[in-house]
Amino acid sequence: MAIFTLSSAISAISSSSSSSFKPNISNNFSSFSCNSLRFNPLVLPQSCSASSHPSFSRKLFKVQARILQENEEKVVVEDSFQPKSSPEVDGSGSDREPPDGSSSSGIERWVIKLEQSINILLTDSVIKILDTLYHDRDYARFFVLETIARVPYFAFMSVLHMYESFGWWRRADYLKVHFAESWNEMHHLLIMEELGGNAWWFDRFLSQHIAVFYYFMAAFMYLLSPRMAYHFSECVEHHAFETYDKFINAKGEDLKKLPASKVAIKYYTEGDMYLFDEFQTSRAPNTRRPVIDNLYDVFVNIRDDEAEHCKTMKACQTPGNLRSPHSGFDNAFEDDAGCILPDTSCEGIVDCIKKSVTRDTSSVN
């Protein structure tokens, strides 16, 4: 009799605990510690590595992609960006701690302000020249913009390859993302060529010579301060976003009557979409699949691409903050585990000087 009573009590406790446990799983799912993987694959907490919940992340992305394809949701792009913002301040205006965990010094704030002031001055100067030469020639202006826009990614990869050759550090994610960005900008350029943006020899001459100068300037700037180079690229991408957005608002109805570019249809809807997902570091893979029905859709997606570039360049301004959208979701960490070299203690000449001064000051104190 005692055994029967004891077993009844145990079964009652187990049934009540299991019934109370199931709702907690569903209610607390949104507060799961790896929830950031769904929205921002840029930053992966150490507790949420690829090996922690690989099946969870892969299933989650497949479900998101299926919902997106069934509902055919349009891509939502931020209306404005803040290219003048410091990398120490996030989009909500709250201060963030520097990567090394210490409070930002007055020297660093002054350097950041100087870098951004130079970038804004250079960008505004180029914009005034383009406004003067191409105020009524849209496709030619877009051709020049796209010829220039892909150049810094070539420069970044060149410097990163040099660092890797010297054995200083190896940045696989940076190389993958920057190559994907250059691949995206190349297709923008092919679209503008298909639309006749490169018909006049002067436009080709101007854009190509600006691109050569821009390459060496971007490479030198990246050697000097990667943060400054990324901010300058953010300013350029921000201008491209605004340019396309104004063009769409002004001539959207006319564009809807024109057929889509063949290059755009092939790039956005056909073939392997790995590189298309790779440059969009603020979103999970397979969550954006454009629909191209006319020329209006083409320019809308080009504008949205520029928005994604802008977000990626902003993330790059914090050292070590960039991560490939595919890293951690297809056992990427295991694949790259044997290719990791120890990072140097500083990035760029400016960062090395700043940390040297900081160390000297702390040793004196």
Fold held by 137-317: Ferritin (1.20.1260)
Computed from CA positions of residues 231, 235, 241, 242, in that sequence, does the dihedral angle turn out positive or negative?
A: positive
pTM over 0.75: no
At 361 the pLDDT is 57
Q: Quick one: the chain helix, strand, coil %, rounded to 5? A: 70, 0, 30
At 50 the pLDDT is 39
Q: Is 224 exposed, middle or buried (0-12, 13-18, 19+ CB in 10 A)?
A: middle
Q: What mean pLDDT do residues 325-347 have?
A: 52
Q: What mean pLDDT do residues 316-320 have?
A: 85
At 141 the pLDDT is 95
At 350 the pLDDT is 66
* HEC readout, 106-170: HHHHHHHHHHHHHHHHHHHHHHHHHHHHCCCCHHHHHHHHHHHHCHHHHHHHHHHHHHHHHCCCC
Q: Is a pLDDT exceeding 50 seen at residue 194?
A: yes
As a whole number, the mean pLDDT across the chain is 73
Rounded CA separation 148/151 (Å): 6
Residue-wise pLDDT for 204-218, tens only, equals: 999 999 999 999 999
Q: What mean pLDDT do residues 344-352 have?
A: 62
- Bridge partners of 261, per DSSP, are none
| Domain ranges (residues) in the chain | 137-317
DSSP string, 244-296: HHHHHHHHHHHHHTSPPPHHHHHHHHSS--HHHHHT-TTS-TTS-----SSHH
Measured in degrees and rounded to the nearest 5, phi and psi for residue 133 equal: -85, -25
Map residue 95 onto helix, strand or coil.
strand
At 135 the pLDDT is 87
Residue-wise pLDDT for 47-106, tens only, equals: 433 344 444 444 444 434 333 444 444 444 444 344 444 444 343 333 334 444 444 477
Share of the chain above pLDDT 90, in %: 47
Q: Is a pLDDT exceeding 90 seen at residue 44?
A: no
At 171 the pLDDT is 78
Q: What mean pLDDT do residues 289-297 have?
A: 94
Map residue 179 onto helix, strand or coil.
helix
Least confident of 153-157, 174-178, 322-326, 339-343: 339-343
Q: How far is CA 39 from CA 2, 54, 58, in A?
A: 55, 16, 14
Q: How confident is the model at residue 347 (pLDDT cuts 50, 70, 90)?
A: low
At 9 the pLDDT is 46
Lookup: tokens for 359: 């160390």
Q: Is a pLDDT exceeding 70 seen at residue 11?
A: no
